[in-house]
Every structure is written in structure tokens, then in C-alpha cells.
Amino acid sequence: MRFKKMCATLAVMACGLMIGNGNVITWAEEVAQNTTVDYSDLGVRRPRIYNDSKEVYLDTGKVKGATWNADKKELTLDNFKGKGHLWLDYYDAKNYDYEKNKDKYAAEQQAHKSETITLVVKGDCTIDGYIDCRCNLKITGGGSLSVLEDSENSKRYEYEPAWYTISTGEFMDEEDKPSDCGDIEVSNVTIKAAIFYGKNIKFDNAKVNRKFRLATMTLAEGTDCFYAPFAVCETISVNNCKMNFRYEEPAKNQMNYSLYDQYCFNAQKINITDSTIKFKGKEKAYMTYPSMPFGEIELSAIQVKNSKIGFRKGQCFLKDDYIYRFSKVNNGKISEASIHKVYNDGKKKYIIDKTIKAFGKKFKIVGIDSSSFDSCREMKTVIIKGKSIRRIGKNAFVRYPEVKKSITFKVPKAKKKLYTSFIKKAGTKKFVVK
């Protein structure tokens, strides 16, 4: 959850709507819904790039490889190599007086949200900064796009800077939901590096070759590690796409840090059709810091049709009361899983089934990971139905802060002796096995 809050904080810092003197203005829908005004006296929206330490408005100035068509609201990048942030709809205020004109500003912002800007990518394009847009965004053109972190901000991070974003709005609420974003549509392009923030994101006939290096950030609470997400939104649609995500293994000095929650896709609903998604890299990257490739959403919210997903050992998914971790995967196909963490930690009784069905396959539950039940303070009974449990991790049933009440375990009769030894070796203090 700390990772989500950090996403929200840095996304707003990096991608706030800039108006004239640099103040950040939030959306005000309640003011704008029934307001009709002439905005021309306030300012004009136009693309702006901060390139090589120079501020250039693309409707009047020239930058090699960038062409703006105002009639079509279309920016074409042709083998563009940019060194700075790109605002596709920067609001250039003529006479800034926010208090006097705040209703007009709010109405203009609300009206602009329904518009669409097209980014045409030709050749191999790189932007050393973020792309910011405050309406709907289409990215197309047949080329490849890499959106990299600017060097000034990257000094805060080791290894990979995490915030090279393509954003269509702000992430202001506690759940890190895209509270006021436009939609993003990506088609007929190759994405090499980017993080997408939007309301609804659609990938259609697109290719993704994205590498993730483990980043570290030192905060007041200590040093933490995280892999950046790929897309954060309400809904994600992937159609006729080939996506390769390669996670690099941690460096030696990153092995003992704590970890933020991490996802590749972070959405409330995900639809994948006629596509191939592969997770690549060495197994150590997935086993050291287990991640949830499709976010912390119920399995029922992930629809996969006519598609192949190459999972890796160590990746996790959510179903019902538990977050499960893939513990055996051959050629992307899952055959075994373990309980990695309890998701619904307020129950008194927990049932661990023999098998679980996910992504069209049924596989055995063979383990219970370390500290997996540590937040279940109301837990009284654990029922283990299967005979395939091979390990129970350290402190799996030790609760923090300490709960002195005994736990009753109900297990298969044939496995009572073995499971009792597992439970005891895991550090469980007060328990009864029936």
C-alpha cells in the first residue's frame, strides 16, 4: 500500500497541470458542469517541450523531429530525440489571476477533458522526460517510443528511475485510482519504456518490449525497493498485442531491503484478447521480490481469451481470501502454488483447499509462505483439506502484535503427524491439531 501512496504523490508532483506561473490547479467538476464561458481571454492550450534547457512552444517554435497540426490536434514525432518534458496541452495563461477567474479555469478544464490529442510516432523516438496530457490521448504511427526519466529527477534513485510517465491526469484519492484522468489508446506502435497513467487504457495491435530494473528509494522509514508499474488505470484492454516484460534480478546491495507492493498492470478490470504476454528474466528477480503482474484485484476481474501468458515462478495473484504465489511453473504453465499472504485478515476460520483454479488451469496448493497469516488477529481455526502441503514457512501463523490465544488446526488424518511437525517448526506457539 505504501507503494500506491508513493505513486500518487510522485505522479501529482511530476504531472500536475501547469498554468502560467507554475501553480498546480486541480479539477473542479462541480463548478464547471453547468458553466458556459469564453476561455480565450484567459489563455490558450498548446504543446510545449522543455528541450535542452530551453522552453519551446511547438505551435510557434521549431524543434527538430516534432510537428504540430493545430486543426487535427495532432503532434507528429519523427525520429525525435528530446531532452525534456513534453506537455501536449500546456495551458498558457495570458493574465493569470486564479482567484478572480477560478470558475472559468474550472470550466475550461472540464470542457477540455472530453477532447482528444493524437501523438503520431514515426521512427525511433525518445523523450528524456515525461509526457503530460489533460484530455484523452491516442498514440499511433508505426514507430517506437521510449519515455525516459530526466537526469535531474533520476538523481533521487539508484539503478532505474521509476517515473517516466505518460499521464492523462492526476491520482489524488487514497486508493490511487485515476480520479480525474483521460483515456489512453495505444495502437500500431512499439513501446520500449514508459509508465502509463490514465482512466481507461487500451492497447490494440501494439508491441511492448519493456525492461524493469529494481529501483531503490531512501525515505524517513528506511530504504525500500520496487519495480515500477507499466500501466495504472481503472480498466485495461489488451487486444492483438505482443508484450514482453523483462525483470532484472536485484543487485547484491538490494537483497535485504523492504519492498513496496508492486504490479505490472494495476487496474480494477483487465481484458486480454488474442495476445501474448511473456515475463522474462532470471528466476531470482521473481523469487526475491514476489510481484502481482495483474495487480491486487480478484481473479474474476481478469478476463483472458485466446491468449497466452507466460508466468514465472514467484509471481502472485489474488483469489478469494488469499494471495497465492506460483511455486512451480514450466514453460509459463502453472502446476503448483502456495499461499503467500492472507488478503481477508478479519476472519475467524480459514480454509486451505486441496487445489485452486486460475487462468483456466487447476493446480495443487503445496505450501504456506512465511508470515502469511501474521495479520489475522481474529483467527481461531485453520482447516487444511489437502495432502500435498510440503512446507510451512517461518512464523506463518505467528500474529503481530502477539496474540496469545490458541489456534485449532484441522488436517487430513493421514497427514496429522507431518503437518503437526510443520506447524511446530514454523514457530507456532499455542495450537491444537485435530
Percent of the chain with pLDDT over 70: 80
The mean pLDDT value for 163-168 works out to 83
Comparing 354 with 256, the larger pLDDT belongs to 354
Q: Greater confidence, 74 or 29?
A: 74
Note the pLDDT tens digit of each residue in 24-39: 333 334 434 444 445 5
Q: Which pLDDT score, from 0 to 100, does residue 411 have? A: 97
Lowest-pLDDT range of 131-145, 285-299, 393-407: 285-299
**Percentage, residues of the chain above pLDDT 90:** 53
pLDDT band for position 160 (50/70/90)? very low
pLDDT band at residue 18 using 50, 70 and 90 as cut-offs: very low
More confident call, 248 vs 121: 121
Domains of the chain: 2-319 (no CATH), 322-434 (3.80.10)
- As a three-state string, the secondary structure of the chain is CHHHHHHHHHHHHHHCCEECCCEECCCCHHHHCCCCCCCCCCEEEEEEEEECCEEEECCCCCECCEEEECCCCEEEEECCEECCCEEEEEEEECCCCHHHHHHHHHHHHHHHCCCEEEEEEECEEEEECCEECCCEEEEECCCEEEEECCHHHHCCCECCCCCCEEECEECCCCCCCCCEECCEEEECCEEEECEEECCEEEEECCEEEEEECCEEEEECCEEEEECCCCEECCEEEEECCEEEEEECCCCHHHCCCEECCCECEECCEEEEECCEEEEECCHHHHHHCCCECCCCCEHHHEEEECCEEECCCCCEEEECCEEEEEEEEECCEEEEEEEEEECCCCCCEEEECCEEEECCEEEEEEEECCCCCCCCCCCCEEEECCCCCCEECCCCCCCCCCCCCCEEEECCHHHHHHHHHHHHHCCCCCEEEC
